[in-house]
Structure 1
Amino acid sequence: MERYSQFRDRGSGIAPFLPIPAEPLGLQAPLRIFLFCFRLPLLIFVSLSYFLILQWLPIGSLGKKAALWCILGVPSIWWVDLQVDGVRKGFVQPYISNKPHPTDLTARCRSLKQQQARLPQPGSVIASSFTSPIDAIYLAAIFDPIFTASYPNTRQVERISLFQAILRAFAVPSTQPAPNSRMVDVSTLVEQYPNRPIVLFPECTTTNGRGILTLSKSLLGVSPQTKIYPVSLRYTPMDIVTPLPGSYLSLLWTLLSKPTHCIRVRIAECVTSSQAVLDTSPARSNKSTYTTNYLDTLDQEQVSASEKALLDSVAESLARLGRVKRVGLGVKEKQEFSRAWSQSRRTW
């Protein structure tokens, strides 16, 4: 892998575009081959049923979420470890008691409302990490959001469907939107869909989950009053990520041949552009995990101090939630890496 050393972050040495090595089959070869052959027709059936039929029927949000959970259930993605900043583990669910005292019930209801307020709500923005097509499916199954595509050099976003969000996890990244793309401000989408959250993938392309790329300026298109929730999605094992474009078959094999997979979901406290200025202090800057001049990677368009603080706050939250570091790489480096990889290896 020394030939790809130029695609490592200079400060930390992290290579966010290298694929995760697959585990050898060993004695589990018969079991894994059986699981793959058994699950593949089921996954094709439930996926085609949803994307061709169910998503167009008036079955409501709950019906669509149930169908998406069936898609996640085929490869046994059931074990979801959810943690929310400010909420003790295990206290996300409502409290149930046989005969609660009125005072206790009032306190529990107040506590429950406070806990729910720490989760992404309709009218808010979700800034999610991006490592796998499973990210989009999970977010759709939980929050029923509006998906968008971000680009490094513009504050506007392109509204996309869930299926397009899945395909973007396998696509070669682009620094500019297509000529026929309909770009829109994030604040406009929030006003158009007040009953649904908006999902942004500010890294603009997938990684192997070992670093946070330079964030897009699309986060700067959020209005000052809108809450932004950084959300980190990580997988155990980590080999169902798709840092390489076109890795359809390898993902299907890894996803369907293993008995089960675990998603670790971390949700940070919400942040707004006005709060980001107050939260960015010299003490916090000294604790930053970032080792490269991140602000220099922002292109020609000037950004204000509050906007820089917002990008720093979201990036630091994603790095802290994922227990990784920020890197000074972005879409351009991913494009160069993809070309170098395709010249020497075959993606499958």
Structure 2
Amino acid sequence: MKPGPNCDFLLPAASMEKFSAYRDAGTGIQPFLTPIPSNAPPTTLQIVQPLIYAFAVIRFVLSLIVLAEHLLLQAVILVFSPIPPLYRFLAWLLTAIHCRTLLALAGYGRIKVELTSKKKGRVTTQGEAWSPKAGDLIVSNWCSWAEILWLAFRFNPIFIMPVANAPQQAEEDSMNLTGRRTGTGSAAIHRNGAMQRTAIAGFHRVSLLKILSSLGETPSTNGLPIAGAMSLESIRKDADRPVVVFPECTTSNGRGLLRFVDVFESSHAVPVKGYDVFIMCARYDAPTHWKPSATCSIPKKLPIPLPEPLVQMFTIPFEPSRLTIRLLPLSEGPSSALFLSSDTLVGGGTKDTLSEACSVLISQVGKLKRTGQGWEEKSSFLSFYYTKS
């Protein structure tokens, strides 16, 4: 089976058949299944399997020690909370050290960071500074835990997670049948209509540990209550650090962008005034048997909840697929006075112009296709996935 023009890497044929209803009709991309190598495992991989297991145990124990040390020292420095500048500095220092250590243990000794122009191609890292401040927004796609740890050690930002009611199937499509009709009964024909668009009820500020433990979940399944949810603008105004926003509201497998949710208030006109919006895109290389995908589109169901970095310490032989962080210069972002909304907004019809602009810019910077699949389809996919697994 050869990859098509939209395929960065292949998914197993059986899975593609079983979950074909969740393939995006416009791009042909399946954004939810974990990508795997298309070729057979090499013999050498089986030979060194005992070494891989031993290495995984050592790596897991070391990561557990780092995590425990981080939690302990974060509790200790609370004594400096009456002195906010000192407390913020110590909290950032501990977060930077421990997050970078976890990334190194996972195989991310070096993370490639590119300052990329959407028009001119790559520019050197010696160019424009990328320095989010308190109250600024960092808007990014969301694939894995690695970009979470990278953001944490670089900027020590505030992480937020959305909450919403469970989405419902669209009535007009509820009787559509998808699947292969052979007449023999051997094909799995299941009902899967388009999901109704469900508005986000608000956001909760969450700890680094919480967001790492909730990877792959959707706004209706992440365990956060709708009561007490705040608007993004109210969180931003009170923030003493940059705020990270994932408008997809759940993780994908990195093959394309999920449909962005209207996370910004309609009053946020483009270009944005009063604060800066920084655009970032995380890209992962195609997986191999030696470097499996680190993307986490499907949450792990374990008896003991563990942060995803600890879980993947067991599932990657030596290192995961390479991560590249692409940053858009601030002068080309939606908060620049020279930003033209006509470059990203085509035809109108959207209430959240800032969300649409961010989606287009991340697509351009990361060279990712935008899909029509959103977190609502992800919720339906997860329900179907767990019944079939």
Give TM class, smaller chain: 0.7 to 0.9
| Kept after mapping to 1: 8 A contact 2:115/2:125 | no
Compared with structure 1, are the counterparts of its residues 335 and 120 closer, same or farther at alpha carbon in structure 2 (3 Å cutoff)? same
CA displacement 1:186-242 (0-9 Å, x = unmatched): 232233224x10011110111000111111222337674222112111233551111
Which of the numbers 176, 187, 203 marks the counterpart of 1:157? 203
1:126 CA drift (Å): 0.6
Map of 2:112 onto structure 1: 81
Which residue of structure 2 aligns with residue 99 of structure 1?
none
Change (3 A) 1:234 1:166: same
Q: Is the 8 A contact 1:78 1:262 kept in 2?
A: no
Aligned equivalents of 1:78, 1:236: Cα separation in 2 = 15
1:178 CA displacement: 4.5
**Number of corresponding residues:** 301
Question: How far apart are residue 32 of structure 1 and its match?
Answer: 2.4
1:67-90 Cα shifts (integer Å, max 9, x gaps): 221111212212111111358324
Alignment correspondent of 1:240 = 294
Could you tell which deviates more after superposition, 217-226 or 10-19?
A: 217-226
Alpha-carbon separation, structure 2, partners of 1:197 and 1:285 = 26
1:258-277 alignment, distance < 5 Å? 258-259=318-319, 262-270=322-330, 271-272=333-334
More helix by share: 1
Residue 20 (structure 2) pairs with residue 5 (structure 1): yes
Amino acid at match of 1:311: S
Distance change >3 Å, CA 285–CA 181, structure 1 → 2 = closer
Report the CA distance shift for 1:150/1:274 in structure 2 as closer, same or farther (over 3 A): farther
Aligned residue in 2 for 1:128: 140
- AA aligned to 1:27 is T
Query: Which one is further off, 4-13 or 217-226?
Result: 217-226
TM-superposed CA distance for 1:254, in Å, is: 3.2
Contact 2:218 2:249 in 1 (8 A): no
State the Cα deviation string for residues 62-112 of structure 1 (Å, max 9, x = none). Answer: 2321122111121221211111135832416xxxxxxxxxxxxxxxxxxxx
What letter matches 2:275 in structure 1?
Answer: T
Structure 1's 202 and 13: CA in aligned 2 closer, same or farther, altered over 3 A?
A: same
Change (3 A) 1:34 1:237: farther
Checking the alignment, whether the CA contact within 8 Å between 2:92 and 2:153 is kept in structure 1 is: no
What CA deviation, in whole Å up to 9, does each residue of 1:3-47 have, x standing for no partner?
211111111111100111158363134242332122111111112
> In 1, distance between residues paired with 2:229 and 2:202?
6
CA RMSD of aligned residues (A): 3.0
Q: How does 1:291-306 map to 2 (within 5 A)?
A: 303=351
- Match of residue 43 from structure 2: 26
Q: 1:64 aligns with which of 95, 104, 117?
A: 95
Distance in 2 of aligned mates of 1:55 and 1:230: 29
1:21 is paired with a residue whose SS is coil
Aligned equivalents of 1:126 and 1:90: distance in 2? 18
Cα distance in 1 for residues equivalent to 2:53 and 2:223: 40
> Which residue number in structure 2 is paired with residue 96 of structure 1?
none
TM-score (norm. length: structure 1)? 0.76
Question: Which structure 2 residue ranges, 5 or more long, are not aligned?
Answer: 1-15, 78-89, 164-197, 288-292, 302-307
Tell me if the contact between 2:138 and 2:242 (Cα under 8 Å) persists in the aligned partners: yes
Deviation larger for 222-231 or 161-170 = 222-231
SS in 1 for 2:18: helix
Residues in 2 aligned to 1:177 and 1:217: alpha-carbon distance in whole angstroms: 21
CA apart distance, 1:154: 3.0
TM (normalized to structure 2)?
0.69
Deviations 1:103-159 (A, max 9, x none): xxxxxxxxxxxx22x443332101121111222211111110000013561373221
Check 1:231–1:331 CA distance in 2 against 1; reply closer, same or farther (3 A cut). same
* Preserved CA contact (<8 Å) 2:216 2:250: no
Matches within 5 A, 1:67-216: 67-85=98-116, 88-91=123-126, 115-116=128-129, 118-151=130-163, 153-154=199-200, 156-174=202-220, 178-179=224-225, 181-194=227-240, 196-216=241-261
Flag the 1:240–1:77 CA change in 2: closer, same or farther, 3 A: same
Tell me the CA shift for residue 324 of structure 1: 1.3
Q: Is 1:17 aligned to residue 32 of structure 2?
A: yes
1:53 aligned to 2:72?
A: yes
Matches within 5 A, 1:211-230: 211-220=256-265, 224-230=273-279
Shift in alpha-carbon separation, 1:35–1:294, aligned structure 2, 3 A: farther
Kept in 2: contact 1:85–1:268 (CA 8 A): yes
CA distance in 2, matches of 1:7, 1:233: 23
Q: Is the 2:249–2:375 Cα contact (8 Å) retained in structure 1?
A: yes
